[in-house]
Structure 1
Amino acid sequence: MLKTKSPVEREGSQLIWIDKEKIQKQKGYDFVKRLIDLFAGIVGIILISPIMLWIGYKIHKDEPGSPVIFAQKRVGRNGKLFTMYKFRSMCVDAEEKLDKLVDKNEIKGAMFKMKEDPRVTEFGKFIRRTSLDELPQLINVIKGDMSLIGPRPPLQREVAEYTQYDMQRLLVKPGCSGLWQVSGRNEVHFDEMVNFDIEYILKRNTIYDIKLILNTIKIMIKPNSAY
């Protein structure tokens, strides 16, 4: 796990604002990052295709006739909407049941997390704990909607609650994993997640991305507190 402190913790109560022009000028880094994403995404899907087929079979077997893949609109770089893919880990009508669970949210801020979420299936608990439900996002990486490393793509209803400071998360392409995922995952509240994302955006470079990819693989092999 990477040892890090959020920008707010490092700078007292001062908020850190990102230089947007500097981000836009990182053309060389963006080009290399895209090459890594394409190569790793294609090779990754080829290598893990047997695992993905097994997961798809298990989901279908447990609930015949129900969709194996969960597709959901997410907010990407500069507010652009795209469809993100995951293996379905919840009951089919999970979105409809969310309204009744909002008051049980265990995360402070503009996102929803519940450790014992009744919408999650038994097999869903396993693939969420091991992050295997995220594997179809490699398709998003190949398409260019997402990167291997970056801020997690939020829902539209979450972005509607963002402050101008929070909106800085959307300055770069969202990722399958990132700094906050390898630094605490579900113990991290929304404001802390934003701080981690801003720290990543300020520090990001190719070597740093590779380190985060390796840390993500370690967590998938030895799961942390994901739920």
Structure 2
Amino acid sequence: MAFDESGHDEPTLDELQLDALGELFNLGVGRAANSLSLIVKDEVELSAPSISFAYPSQITQALLDSEFKELSMVAMDFSGPFEARAVLLFPERNALAILSHMLDPNMPPEELSEFEQEAMCEIGNIILNACMSALADEFGVEFMGSLPEHHFSDTESLPLFGGDQKEVLLILQIHLSIRQERINGHLLFLLSVSSLHALLTCVDSYLTRLGIR
């Protein structure tokens, strides 16, 4: 770990580690897209995620996109070789757009919102478990996951991150497309510094098994 100007431990990954994480999460996202396609009965495309890091206190700035005001999010806790709180986060209007493809497209918005929490939990369960199961399969480990929890929030008052500077956010930006409609979202993984080290140890072991390290 290096230190930035504010004294934070700055996550420093080498190119091999970043590439490996990108490939592993891309594998998980691909599995999730296949499962979602069965639900909406149409092709779902999830882009290869881009990876960045931030601290809980910086998450508002990290999400200062014009889309990310009113939020619909699903959180799950995972334990295993490392612990992580995994969060799937969409702007509220994008969440409703996804639901419109899962349910009757002619359903009025006020009726759609009645199903939002249950449907978003199902979507979050699929995407977050697909990502963690991809890591588990490739690392040769096991994770235990909690039941998904749905939350409404806004960019300024995210309820899931308390600003503990001993924790790090691994941020994956994803683009979900259904019937040519592009929907932006984020996958967030909240890790303690020790869990981040454990994750990177798993990545290094994985690279060694592949003969890359």
State the TM-score, normalized to the length of structure 1. 0.32
Higher relative contact order (CA 8 A, sep 6+): 2
Structure with bigger helix share is 1
More strand by proportion, 1 or 2? 2
